[in-house]
Amino acid sequence: MKPLFVLAGVFALSLIATRILKHNFDYKLSGKVALAVMLLFTSAGHFLYAKGMAMMLPEAMPFRTGLVYLTGIIEMAAAIGIFVPALKPITGILLIVFFILILPANIFAAIRHLNYETGTFDGKGLSYLWFRIPFQLLLIVWTYFFVVK
């Protein structure tokens, strides 16, 4: 839920800032800024809660903690790449693929009632997916509209 608040809040603030500075609303720029800040926010979790996030992956998967760090780095790189004109289209497409690929880990964690922040199994469970799946779809559409298109 926190990433949604970051995305929406930064989008609103960025719209206000572009209105003041450019004398019109720059939806495209505001959408990219909001996505970048949200990606930096969520990437921080990959380093702050690496142990709990590694528990989102099946035990049989090797290098789980390393994958958590790698995905955090990917999110940081994407936050930068969406502002580099030559990289923007491929970054957007790869970010959409990334959002699709991480959904199974969120489903796995919800089934297990994992609270990745504490590394315990007292999370919201399957009810979390009522938020997470629509949010993933929103991120995919957001990325397509503000980055790829």
**DSSP of 99-126:** HHHHHHHHHHHHHTT-BTTTTBS-S-GG
Task: Count other Cβ atoms within 10 Å, centred on residue 131.
Answer: 13
How confident is the chain (149 residues) per 10-residue block, as mean pLDDT? 96 98 97 98 97 95 96 98 97 98 94 94 91 96 97
**How far is the C-alpha of 127 from the C-alpha of 125, rounded, in Å?**
5
Residues 5, 25, 38, CA angle at the centre, nearest 5°? 25
Return the pLDDT at 101. 96
> By three-state DSSP, how is residue 59 classified?
coil
**How far is the C-alpha of 85 from the C-alpha of 6, rounded, in Å?**
24
Dig out the tokens for 88 from the structure: 């923007």
Where do the structural domains in the chain lie, given as residue ranges? 2-148
